[in-house]
A and B are shown apart, each in its own frame.
Chain A
Amino acid sequence: MTIQKLSEDMLTDSEARLRGILETAVDAIITIDERGIVEPFNPASERIFGYAAHEVIGRNVNMLMPPLYSEAHDSYIANYLKTGVKKIIGIGREVIGQCKDGSTFPMHLSVSEVRLGERRLFTGIVRDLTEQKNLEKQVLQTERLATIGKMAAKVAHEIRNPLSSISLNAELLEDEIGGYDSANTAEAKTLLKAMIAEIDRVTALTEEYLQFSRLPEAQLAKGNLNQAIEEIVIFLRHELAQKKIELECHLQNMLPEVRFDRVQIRRALLNIIRNAIDAMPKGGKLKIETEKKDNKAVIHIEDTGLGIPVDEIEKIFEPFFTTKDFGTGLGLAIVQQIVAEHGGEIFCKSKIGSGTTFSIIIPIKRGE
């Protein structure tokens, strides 16, 4: 065997290994030249960015970045080649990537530099951080909710004690005045009635705070979601008719049973439906649908109400966010908490002037 043959064999061997790594890596591995032109684009890159390799190879890598980053990218390379100051090479940092469909995602990028004779190549390893970020966000949200819950409980409790004597004293005063029926006491009686009504309102508010803070763990039992929805619909029929809201129900017949807490799901649906009713002050249409999608049971609640502005839609599940005059801002936060307790998810789509749809997704456990 000649030395040349041996070195050729070694090269093929090392190439095969390299290809193996590129093809099986979980992370996207993308190599670019000095001009930013993409050379190899491994299968993980295809999966993460949604492009086929041939759509990217030979084009500038900035097609994988949102506009703001892509504009800066060329100058980064140029700057590095000129000054040798490393901003990312060998360090790695978090940046934003852009998929074929235009959606963006957080990613960790580390770049290494390879010199091939006169050529300088840069290899970027991209790790998709979407899941990690979501998890972090969830943990943060859970912690936040727990803190808010504790605070709400403390505040509500502290308010309920003084409220007790205020409430009883107001009633005693009412009795007191009640004994003297004259024109002079009429005004006093009206004022007292207003006070007692406000006391009742504060009581109801603290009730909701406490409910939020002490939402008990869901007691999951196998059951029929459609049936639970029908019960609520019967309960609300009168109210809907009164508010001139037409009801349309499409409950899928073959919806498999799921494990859920009847009381809590009922409360969640009631909260959403009450919001829908409030969003249709002049009447409208409320549509409730259920369907089986993949291995999940989905409930859609659609109204033809005012709709939620784009800048508010992100905040609707945040505790204490409210647009109502007398709301606690806890209704949807409670709904989200309940859905999460069921291992499910909730989504909201809305369009100003045409209405809002909430979709609750509850997993159907395997074998059920």
Chain B
Amino acid sequence: MQNKSILIVDDEASIRESLQKVLSKAGYLTVTASSGDEALALLSTQSVDIVLSDLKMPNGDGIELLKNVKKKFADIEVILLTGYGTIETAVEAMKAGAYDFITKPPKKAAVLSAVERALERQNLAQENKYLKAQLGKSVDFTDMIGSSPAFRKMLDMIDRLAPCFQRF
């Protein structure tokens, strides 16, 4: 969790500050923004792992920010905070790509566990991407020594089977 950075977006300073304290005490780097626009501006200059944003803000709501973040910075996971968790808003948020959904007033444990899980998923996604890239590098057997039909047949089989192992 060290060095992971979290952007907190809420129009209310007191909530930003409390969340910041909770997260920095847990060892995260934090930055804050008071609106969706400010958050987007910040993201273009600073690298952030997770965005924790209020759903309803006077200037542009959290869903809009979520969509923008997902469009421009697909790797960043977004967690939304909401005054009231209706199924409708939750579904809308999840569809738009939110990782999680916390209702206000949030409990410290809920915030921390949501952030941890989001980071875990991010980790897995990155690992997955890396492994795929590794497997994608084509291995060429033409330089391989040995020309017996049996050996060539085995090489061919390896070539064909390789993609099946990508999913592991």
Contacts and interface: CB of A to CB of B under 8 A. Distances in A.
Interface residues of A, number: 22
Contacts of A210: 83-84
B22 A168 contact: yes
Contacts of A171: 22, 107-108
Contacts of A197: none
A164 B82 CA distance: 10
B11 to A, nearest CB: 9
B122 to A, nearest CB: 24
A313 B22 CA distance: 49
13 contacts: A153-B84, A160-B104, A164-B14, A165-B14, A167-B106, A168-B22, A172-B18, A175-B25, A203-B105, A207-B84, A210-B83, A214-B84, A216-B86
Nearest to A172: B21
B107 A165 contact: no
B18 to A, nearest CB: 4
Given A160-B105, A199-B105, A168 B18 contact: yes
A153 B86 CA distance: 13
B25 A164 contact: no
Contacts of A203: 105
B17 interface: yes
Interface of A: 153, 156-157, 160-169, 171-172, 175, 199, 203, 207, 210, 214, 216
Interface centre among A171, A199, A210 (most CB of B within 10 A): A171
Contact of B83 (A161, A169, A172): A161
B12 interface: yes
A171 B25 CA distance: 12
A207 to B, nearest CB: 8
Contacts of B21: 168-169, 172
Which DSSP category, helix, strand, loop or mixed, fits chain A's interface? helix
A157 B104 CA distance: 9
Contacts of B18: 164-165, 168-169, 172
B19 interface: yes
A170 B34 CA distance: 23
Given A157-B84, A164-B14, A165-B15, 11 more contacts: A161-B83, A161-B104, A163-B104, A164-B12, A164-B104, A164-B106, A165-B17, A168-B18, A168-B108, A169-B18, A207-B84
A275 to B, nearest CB: 25
Nearest to A168: B18
A172 B22 contact: yes
A161 B22 contact: no
Contacts of A156: 83-84
Interface string B43-64: 0000000000000000000000
Given A160-B84, A161-B15, A214-B84, A168 B25 contact: no
B84 A172 contact: no
A50 B100 CA distance: 64
A163 B107 CA distance: 11
A163 B84 CA distance: 13
A159 to B, nearest CB: 9
A179 to B, nearest CB: 11
Contact of A168 (B83, B84, B88, B106): B106
Interface in B85-142: 86-88, 104-108, 111
A168 B14 CA distance: 10
Contacts of A165: 12, 14-15, 17-18
Contacts of B83: 156-157, 160-161, 210
